[in-house]
Structure 1
Amino acid sequence: MEKMDYSYFKTEVSKRRRPATTRELTKIAYSAPKSTVSLAEGMPNEETFPFTEISVKLYDGSSFILDESELGAALQYIPTQGYPPLVQALREFQRRAHAPPLWESRDIVVVSGSQDGLSKVLEAVIGTGDPFLVPDSFYPGVEAVVAPHKVELVMIPQDDDGPIPEILRETLRNREISGAKMPKIMYINPTGTNPTGIIIPLERRKEIYRIACEYNFLILDDDPYHFVHFDKEEPKSFLSLDTEGRVIRLDSFSKVISSGLRIGFMTATAPLIASVELHLQSSHLHAPTLSQVILYKLLKIWGYDGLMEHYMRLRYFYKNRRDVISMLAHKYLNGLADFNVPKGGFFLWIKIRGIKNTWKMIMQRGVTNGVIMAPGAAFMKDPSKSCNAIRASFSKASYEEMDLAMRRLAQLIRAELAENDKNNYIENVDT
């Protein structure tokens, strides 16, 4: 296997980043022998912190207390990469969950939720005007990061199994022939995709990975719903297929443990992790320590099997909700809309018949009539263009609220169709 040249993937800005000496000293102090005396860091004294104890109870009846030395550590500065015991626990978790090839050449960094990881990765790889491969439709948090860089979004159409490999290959071949700049990275949200709820099947994942090797681009594998899927078997991640070191995997605890903890982590080859770590040193230094220590204690109490049991419980919980919203959508939207039952994630992607653009209907009338959903155009390259879809989330609303929302949506659609008919009639009479 040829050794990858990671400098090719980094922007000039990313290459110019330098380590902050004080951050490097924190890293050294953390790993130094106990006998070492450090007067290097500007850390506050733990004795001045007003908190003396934090106790945490879990739903399974287990609990833990952070007091004295542990609490001091939980409220203090830590190395940028993350709270060292948590970093170690996450390494073990990745090895067990995905068995990635080339494991010894990879590393991880803890980030403040995967959106933080997403923005750091994209800003390390994508420069002004660079081409960027994205599925059509895609998560708007990506566009929010790259829009100021005037990036060229190269949209790859999707079917019910995700981005279509033949079109991906043809798009890249045509760019190559015409001498256009080649993309260095592709964004993929493979399991319980936001907004469509699909799971990219294994064969297609392999095919997309083969194309990445062929055309030398990285895969940004943003997978917050990996453990919130409704299939019998666990999806195989892009990381588990990565024999060349070109996958950057983003994991998040937001959807599966708590969104307010703001903890995610990134797994990639060491040179790419180093770029992100340098960027973190210049922004928020490290993800919240208290959140990391709480998460570490949780992982320690539950272990891998306990965490997997929790994920099974989540799947059962969200699958029931998915079944209910699908049933209600069938009941109220029959003849008005089309949708596929989602295979994972939190969302139902509904395509409305006879209405070209749902934006006004949802953003104006919907709000006035007591129902809020996301208009499909928000997930497109150009949100000002027409899109006939709507994204409905089934994760949080009660069953009664879901029923009400679907009933109100049906009324909205009927009112919109009636107005369209009226306007068409007036236009025809005028002509």
Structure 2
Amino acid sequence: MNYERFQNQACLARTPTPLRQMALMMIKRPNVISMGGGLPDPSAIPFIDATVKLRDGSELHIDPADMALSMQYSHSEGYPALRQWFKELQKRIHNPPGMANPTHPSGTEVIVINGSQDALFKTFNAMVSRGDNILIENPAYPVPCTILTPLGCNLIPVEADADGMNPENLRRALSRWSPEDAKDPNSDIPKLLYCVPTGGNPTGSGLTLQRKQEIYKLAQEYDLMIIEDDPYYYLQFTEPLTPSFLSLDVDGRVMRFDTLSKIISPGVRVGFLTGPQPLLQKITYEIMYSTIHVSGISQMLVLALLKKWGHDKFLAQAKEISNLYLKKSELCNMYLEKHLTDLAEWSKPSGGMFFWIKIPSITDTKELLENTYHRDALFVGGSAFFADRSAPCQYIRASYSLVTPEQMDKAFAALAESLKEILSKKT
């Protein structure tokens, strides 16, 4: 793999800051007498230790030594112990070929990130140049679009259906280029493919293993890097979990974004990025020059919890949360059937937190959503998730993660009432 192909000029020129290198030298040799670093005197830091009560009634204690460590500057890649925990998890769940084989040229690695969204921001800023063509599923989670558009690139939508991105649509989108164009540095052939493969936001759909295999083959054929943004991976509603793109990655062409936001807490802002070492090194440089590293206290708190749980308890916790959302999705479907049968179309989600609802009797849901809002129910218009947000859209997204059954009932009743009111004016 030629990883320079996937870096823009700023990324290629990025080198580690010498002061960060000095800080790492101090960390590697804690007994060294340093008059070169800029770490604060520990006596100036007010925090000594901490005890946190968990929902099950047990406690986590961060002792003075760990607290002192968490309060200082640290590795931009993340705490070594936390990285190792995540690396062992990835080996257990995905067993990526580049990690299982130490001689693999990609050298698949893991770094700790400040939530997957910040990692996406840094990754796109390192890999995308003005004028690049970027393949993105359609509809898609809107944040990547809002990151990419100001970079001056062109988004090429690849239509998705109830099983996620359709490989035939991907091949059609690529048909204007030849695979040989990937060898030409002056070609505008796409280099990146972005998707949310599990419990898709907004559709709730999930890519099947067969589709992932077909998409990966196309990525090999056209030398694409797959940006696998997978925050809902552990919220799949069926077992076994569908294998990831990372698990298929024999070449080192997958950047996988995982987060703890859906399993532990979005507020801790801790996730982990897995991918080929040459690219992760450049993302680490981006971290060095921006956030420096993920919050030390967040990393230490998460590390203490994960050490207490172990991988088995973590996976059991993830399964409990998946079951919680499965039950909520079933309730949501029940109230959809109660209020919107013959008025709307939808598919049951395969995971995640969302229903993707089509209103075939109207051309655009804007007025419907405004009227529903005045009935005290809020939904997201589907246009927010399409490449062309100005076009009329028949879809809405409904999230069931935060609402009670009673609130679902009221919200869908309000949506149905608003729709019937609009339709009555047309007759």
TM-score w.r.t. the length of structure 2 is 0.94
Task: Tell me the equivalent position of 1:342.
Answer: 349
Q: 2:141 aligns with which of 135, 139, 142?
A: 139
Asked whether 1:68 is paired with 2:64, we answer: yes
Secondary structure in 1 matching 2:233: coil
Letter in 2 for 1:146: L
Q: 2:418 aligns with which of 399, 412, 415?
A: 412
Letter in 2 for 1:173: S
Q: 1:217 aligns with which of 218, 224, 227?
A: 224
Q: 2:363 aligns with which of 356, 359, 363?
A: 356
Asked whether 1:55 is paired with 2:76, we answer: no
Task: Tell me the equivalent position of 1:195.
Answer: 202
Task: Tell me the equivalent position of 1:122.
Answer: 124
Letter in 2 for 1:36: V
Q: 2:241 aligns with which of 234, 245, 249?
A: 234
| Aligned partners of 1:131 and 1:154 also within 8 Å | yes
For 1:13-162, list aligned pairs within 5 A: 13-32=10-29, 34-103=30-99, 104=102, 105-162=107-164
**Cα drift, residue 40 of structure 1:** 2.5
In the alignment, the residues of structure 2 paired with residue 149 and residue 256 of structure 1 have an alpha-carbon distance, to the nearest angstrom, of 32
Asked whether 1:11 is paired with 2:13, we answer: no
Segments of 5+ residues of structure 1 without an aligned counterpart are: 423-431
Q: 2:371 aligns with which of 361, 365, 373?
A: 365
Task: Tell me the equivalent position of 2:172.
Answer: 170
Task: Tell me the equivalent position of 2:391.
Answer: 385
Secondary structure in 2 matching 1:400: helix
Letter in 1 for 2:216: Y
**Cα drift, residue 178 of structure 1:** 12
Percent of paired sites with the same residue = 35
**Cα drift, residue 114 of structure 1:** 0.3
Letter in 1 for 2:108: R
Q: 1:262 aligns with which of 261, 269, 293?
A: 269
| Aligned partners of 1:252 and 1:263 also within 8 Å | yes
**Cα drift, residue 414 of structure 1:** 1.3
Segments of 5+ residues of structure 2 without an aligned counterpart are: 182-186
Task: Tell me the equivalent position of 1:277.
Answer: 284
In the alignment, the residues of structure 2 paired with residue 303 and residue 62 of structure 1 have an alpha-carbon distance, to the nearest angstrom, of 15
| Aligned partners of 2:179 and 2:221 also within 8 Å | no
Q: Which moved more, 1:329-338 or 1:83-92?
A: 83-92
| Aligned partners of 1:245 and 1:268 also within 8 Å | yes
**Cα drift, residue 260 of structure 1:** 0.3
| Aligned partners of 2:179 and 2:222 also within 8 Å | no
Secondary structure in 2 matching 1:299: helix
Letter in 2 for 1:196: T
Letter in 2 for 1:40: G
Secondary structure in 1 matching 2:97: coil
TM-score w.r.t. the length of structure 1 is 0.94
For 1:308-323, list aligned pairs within 5 A: 308-323=315-330
Letter in 2 for 1:5: N
In the alignment, the residues of structure 2 paired with residue 45 and residue 367 of structure 1 have an alpha-carbon distance, to the nearest angstrom, of 54
| Aligned partners of 1:125 and 1:184 also within 8 Å | no
In the alignment, the residues of structure 1 paired with residue 166 and residue 379 of structure 2 have an alpha-carbon distance, to the nearest angstrom, of 27
Secondary structure in 2 matching 1:221: strand
| Aligned partners of 2:62 and 2:304 also within 8 Å | no
| Aligned partners of 2:96 and 2:248 also within 8 Å | yes
CA 1:178–1:267: 2 relative to 1, 3 Å: closer
**Cα drift, residue 96 of structure 1:** 1.2
In the alignment, the residues of structure 2 paired with residue 72 and residue 367 of structure 1 have an alpha-carbon distance, to the nearest angstrom, of 49
**Cα drift, residue 63 of structure 1:** 1.7
In the alignment, the residues of structure 2 paired with residue 195 and residue 333 of structure 1 have an alpha-carbon distance, to the nearest angstrom, of 19
Task: Tell me the equivalent position of 2:409.
Answer: 403
Between the two proteins, the alignment pairs up a number of residues equal to 416
Q: 1:209-243 deviations in whole A, cap 9, x for unaligned?
A: 00000000100000000000101211101100000
In the alignment, the residues of structure 1 paired with residue 254 and residue 118 of structure 2 have an alpha-carbon distance, to the nearest angstrom, of 17
| Aligned partners of 1:230 and 1:344 also within 8 Å | yes
Letter in 1 for 2:56: D
Secondary structure in 2 matching 1:102: helix
**Cα drift, residue 129 of structure 1:** 1.6
